[in-house]
């Protein structure tokens, strides 16, 4: 049911698994069990005393994307009834997808939360896509032809819309209206 073959899914998935992949690759590249000779001078090993001060940095938890856009809001955007939400993802990259009914019309609304949204925005910018800035929405918000990217604090969220029977200007109007709602629901 999940039809995500574009660069957005790849960027979002890469963000979610990138650290694990790097650890595996680094471990696999070791080759020999003997340590390699180093020409750099290494400082003597010391043991730092354990800190008794609790960490004050608050871990950011990305919200469930299905709480950012309800089924009724997705149906209003798509201008057609949609099937119930399907959730996917884990860790810091989450997806909520409302798909069109099997009887048609073709419609899909995907809501993402996580750092992959920033990466997708950067990719689209690198490809020269045109954006409209939405002032006053979250800390930053950008509207593309059929995508919305927004940030509030350190949390990124986005909406990707696939509609064949709705004119682009109505999709953008719907995303613009929805942007304020999503920003209000971000932590």
The domain segmentation of the chain, as residue ranges, is 60-185
Q: What is the pLDDT of residue 16?
A: 41
pTM of the model: 0.69
Round to whole Å and give the CA distance between 117 and 106. 24
Rounded (5°) CA angle 107-121-86? 35
Helices 168-185 and 71-78 pack at an angle, to 10 degrees, of 160
- What tokens appear for 62 in the block? 């990305």
Classified as helix, coil or strand, 69 is: coil
Round to whole Å and give the CA distance between 82 and 66. 14
Q: What is the pLDDT of residue 59?
A: 57
Round to whole Å and give the CA distance between 115 and 120. 9
Give 152's DSSP letter. Answer: E
- For residues 73 and 178, the answer to whether their CB atoms sit within 8 Å is yes
Task: Evaluate the omega torsion of the peptide bond into residue 105 and state whether it is cis, within 30 degrees of 0.
Answer: yes
Q: What is the pLDDT of residue 90?
A: 84
Average pLDDT across each block of 10 residues of the chain; the chain has 187 residues. List them in order: 44 41 35 38 41 46 93 95 94 92 92 94 95 96 95 96 90 95 95
Question: Beta-carbon neighbour count of residue 46 at 10 Å?
Answer: 6
| Numbers of helices and strands, H then E, in the chain | 5, 7
Q: What is the pLDDT of residue 60?
A: 61
Taking Cα atoms as reference points, which of 75, 156, 72, 154 lies closest to residue 112? 156
Q: What is the pLDDT of residue 165?
A: 82
- What tokens appear for 144 in the block? 């593309």
Q: What is the pLDDT of residue 92?
A: 83
Taking Cα atoms as reference points, which of 22, 153, 16 lies closest to residue 91? 16
Q: What is the pLDDT of residues 151-175, one digit of tens each?
A: 999 999 999 999 988 898 999 999 9
According to DSSP, the β-strands at 107-113 and 155-163 are antiparallel
Round to whole Å and give the CA distance between 69 and 65. 7
């Amino acid at each position: 049911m999940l039809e995500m073959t574009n660069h957005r899914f790849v960027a979002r998935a890469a963000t979610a698994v990138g650290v694990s992949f790097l650890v595996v690759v680094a471990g696999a590249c070791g080759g020999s069990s003997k340590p390699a000779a180093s020409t750099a001078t290494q400082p003597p090993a010391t043991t730092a005393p354990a800190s008794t001060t609790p960490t004050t940095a608050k871990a950011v938890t990305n919200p469930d994307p299905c709480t950012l856009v309800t089924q009724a809001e997705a149906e209003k955007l798509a201008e057609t009834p949609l099937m119930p939400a399907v959730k996917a993802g884990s860790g810091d990259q989450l997806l909520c997808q409302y798909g069109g009914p099997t009887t048609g019309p073709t419609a899909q609304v995907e809501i993402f939360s996580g750092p992959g949204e920033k990466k997708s925005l950067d990719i689209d910018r690198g490809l020269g896509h045109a954006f409209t800035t939405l002032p006053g929405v979250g800390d930053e918000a950008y509207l593309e032809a059929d995508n919305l990217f927004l940030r509030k604090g350190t949390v990124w969220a986005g909406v990707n819309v696939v509609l064949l029977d709705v004119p682009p200007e109505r999709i953008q109007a719907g995303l613009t209206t929805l942007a304020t709602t999503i920003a209000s629901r971000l932590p």
